[in-house]
Structure 1
Amino acid sequence: MTEKFFNKEEGILYFKVRGDVTFEKMIENVESLGNDSTLPKKLKILEDSRLTKDSNLKVEELPAIAEKLQEYLGDFHSIRHAVVHESAINTAIAMVFNKLFSYKNYEINVFSTIEGAKTWLG
């Protein structure tokens, strides 16, 4: 399950992800960015995934997620995406994604605390 809300005062889009991390859920979350014209063009995302189970995503699925993300990147000047994980497997998958796919207007970084993520987002 994913909850999403935009905090106008902070300028941060919050995702709270719980339960299973699936390929379908990842695609759905990416698509929600492109379907929301109210988001700022310089988008900051704080994804709290501390309550997720260990991911069953496969490395082979990451290119399709990256391709879907690339479809929507043109809608934004920049996206800074901070992900907070407790699971070592989920942290590793996010780090692999970061290493494999580089975009000039998209940055992703992995954190163990909300405070660290907020500091990086600025």
Structure 2
Amino acid sequence: MVEHKFNIKTNTLEANYTGNVTANEIIDYISATKNNTQYPRSLKILSDTRNAKFDFTIEELDLIVAENYKSLENYNEIIDAIIVDDPKTTVLTVLYKQFFETNKYKFEIFATKHAALNWLNQW
């Protein structure tokens, strides 16, 4: 499951991934973000995957990447700090980073929420 809410105090979209997370759930979340006209066009996202197990294939990762490219058409840039604490999630995230290359999307991987927020606050 991917739950997300916009934190108006920090001007950041907070996405929490929990349980078994499928490619379709991620694509639905990206689509909802893409279609939201209320978010700032330079969107900061804090993605917390510490309570999730990703349940999709490398091939499905291509579908996620494609949906992200579509989402970027509606934004000037997206800056995403991803918190991970699981080796499999780290590998998927690193692969995702290699598949998804554009100047409009910046993201880094972090082990702690504190480090992720510090990086996001630089933007």
| Counterpart residue type for residue 44 of structure 2 | K
Paired residue for 1:100?
99
* 1:7 aligns to 2:25 (yes or no): no
For structure 2, the residue ranges without an aligned partner over 5 or more in a row are none
CA contact (8 A) 2:65 2:99 kept: no
Cα deviation code 1:49-104 (max 9, x no counterpart) = 11112x22211112211111111101111100111111110111011110121011
CA contact (8 A) 2:2 2:21 kept: no
How far is the alpha carbon of 1:13 from its aligned partner? 0.4
Paired residue for 2:50?
50
Q: Percentage identity across aligned positions?
A: 27
Cα deviation code 1:17-36 (max 9, x no counterpart) = 10012111111111111121
Paired residue for 2:89?
90
Could you say what secondary structure the match of 2:62 adopts? helix
CA contact (8 A) 2:41 2:77 kept: yes
- RMSD of equivalent CA atoms: 1.1
Report the TM-score, using the length of structure 1 for normalisation: 0.93
Report the TM-score, using the length of structure 2 for normalisation: 0.92
Paired residue for 2:77?
78
How far apart are the structure 2 equivalents of 1:116 and 1:84?
9
* 1:60 aligns to 2:59 (yes or no): yes
| Counterpart residue type for residue 59 of structure 2 | E
The ranges of structure 1 where at least 4 consecutive aligned residues each deviate by more than 2 angstroms after the TM superposition are: none
For structure 1, the residue ranges without an aligned partner over 5 or more in a row are none
How far is the alpha carbon of 1:114 from its aligned partner? 0.5
Paired residue for 2:32?
32
